[in-house]
Amino acid sequence: MERLWTAWWSVDTVGRAIAVLQYVSCLMYPVNEKRCSLRGLLTAEVVLHACGNSKGICTRIRWLEPNVAFLNRVLGVRGVSKITNRAVDRLVGQLEHDVAVQIQTDLPLLTAALQARCAELPQLLESTREPGRTHAWST
């Protein structure tokens, strides 16, 4: 997990910068928020789906303990703020830059939700999913 995450969050390409901002937007915006439109923007439901909710392919499995521990170490408001700034810088001159700046501008206004979700996501990932049970953010 650490090698994948580090490569992704290096934002050394435009595509990685866009993907990081998609992920960050899922962590900070309310469910079904339509304020931002970034190419292929993810929704909170997609993040939870990818994390193994009852409709996902990971229905009965959970993340391995070392991967959850890694995510607990790296996922937080300070780190998300830094990576958002780097992604916005990477997108200068790109069509997505204006939307990226909007995400960057909104982030300080949504710190409480971001902090709660950064703490909650590893907990969701480390638990085994039960078929038929959906999962949603608590905030």
Q: Which residue has the higher pLDDT, 99 or 127?
A: 99
Give residue 33's pLDDT.
Answer: 61
Tell me the average pLDDT across 19-44: 67
Rounded alpha-carbon distances, angstroms, from residue 96 to 32, 51, 109: 20, 26, 21
pTM recorded for the entire structure? 0.76
DSSP output for the chain? -HHHHHHHTT--SHHHHHHHHHHHHHHHSPTT--S---TT---HHHHHHHTT-TTSTTTT----HHHHHHHHHH-SHHHHHHHHHHHHHHTTTSTTHHHHHHHHHHGGGGHHHHHHHHHHHHHHHHSPPPTT-------
Higher pLDDT residue, 68 or 47? 68
pLDDT of residue 125: 79
Taking 50 as the threshold, does the pLDDT of residue 50 lie above it?
no
